[in-house]
Amino acid sequence: MSGFFSVDGGLYRFLTRFWDLVKLNFLWLVFSLPIVTIGASTVAAYSVAMKMVDDEEGYVARSFVSAFKANLKQGVIMGLIFLAATYAIYLDYEINRVSEEGSILLIVIGIVSVFVYVAAMLYSFPLLARYENGIVATIQNSMEISRRYFGRTLLIVGLLLAEYVIFHFNTVLLCFGLLFGVSFAIFTVAAFSKRIFQEIEKEPGAVR
């Protein structure tokens, strides 16, 4: 029992990780406030989260700020691309919703758009956080990883949807969601992404 409550015990590690996620969530929110910097903030959060996966993060705030500065330009561009894509999908949904008869074409376009959007976005920010590459190449790589690791990609999306439902289940859980919901989702994607990246890096001819 004493080991469980010691600094090396399970409770201490759990509370430490919880507090790290709260800090990461707060940093992500603050650095995303200008809206245009949401991409850079997300890349920085992934950079810290992927280190958290193997307990390598060190000081969360220092690591976050460093990653934010290093990825500011590409992060901003990536963020604006996906904000525009998000708005386009939302617009398609709203047009179809207010239409009296609806449109099968718009529904099909919306479904395909969401599928492409998820495939392009899911791994793009973790890729930017881990590798130096261009925006177009990063999005292409994200789509290729989504195709190649389709089963794991579906699992990630399922887990993210489950987290969203859980954090919106009642007021108490919603408060926890506000505290660390975004960072927990980022940590979830980061945990899977890092393992996938490590598998790819072991392949012959892979660029590290």
Spatial contact of 47 and 71, defined as CB atoms under 8 Å apart: yes
- Give the Cα separation of 183 and 30 in Å (integer): 13
Q: What are the backbone dihedrals phi and psi of residue 133, each rounded to the nearest 5 degrees, phi first?
A: -160, 165
pLDDT tens-place string over residues 51-83: 998 887 678 999 999 999 999 999 999 999 999
The C-alpha atoms of residue 2 and residue 15 are separated, in whole angstroms, by: 16
- Establish if 193 belongs to a structural domain: yes
Which positions ≥6 away from 35 have C-beta within 8 Å? 83
For residue 70, being part of any structural domain is answered with yes
207 within domain boundaries: no
107-165 pLDDT, tens digit each: 777 788 889 999 999 999 999 999 999 999 999 999 999 999 999 999 999 999 999 99
Altogether, the residues listed in the chain come to a count of 208
Q: Is residue 206 part of a domain?
A: no
**Nearest alpha-carbon partner for 126 in 198, 55, 204, 194:** 194
Return the structure tokens found at 106: 């718009």
Rounded to whole angstroms, the Cα distance separating 27 from 183 reads 10
Taking alpha carbons only, the member of 29, 68, 61, 24 closest to residue 186 is: 24
Least confident of 18-22, 190-194, 204-208: 204-208
User: What is the rounded distance in angstroms from the CA atom of residue 41 to the CA atom of residue 49?
Assistant: 12
Q: Is position 79 within any domain?
A: yes
State the total domains in the chain: 1
How far, CA to CA in Å, does 179 sit from each of 22, 29, 199?
Answer: 6, 10, 32
Within 8 A by CB and 6+ apart from 25, the residues are 179, 180, 181, 182, 183, 184
Residue 11 lies inside a defined structural domain of this protein? yes
| Secondary structure letter of residue 36 according to DSSP | T
pLDDT at 1: 47
pTM of the prediction?
0.89
* Residues with Cβ within 8 Å of residue 172, at least 6 apart in sequence: none
**Residue 172 domain-assigned (yes or no):** yes
Return left, alpha or beta for 67; rule: phi > 0 is left, psi -120 to 50 is alpha, else beta.
alpha
Q: What is the extent of the structural domain holding 41?
A: 2-201
Residue 208 lies in a domain: no
How far is residue 137's CA from residue 141's CA, in Å, rounded to a whole number?
6
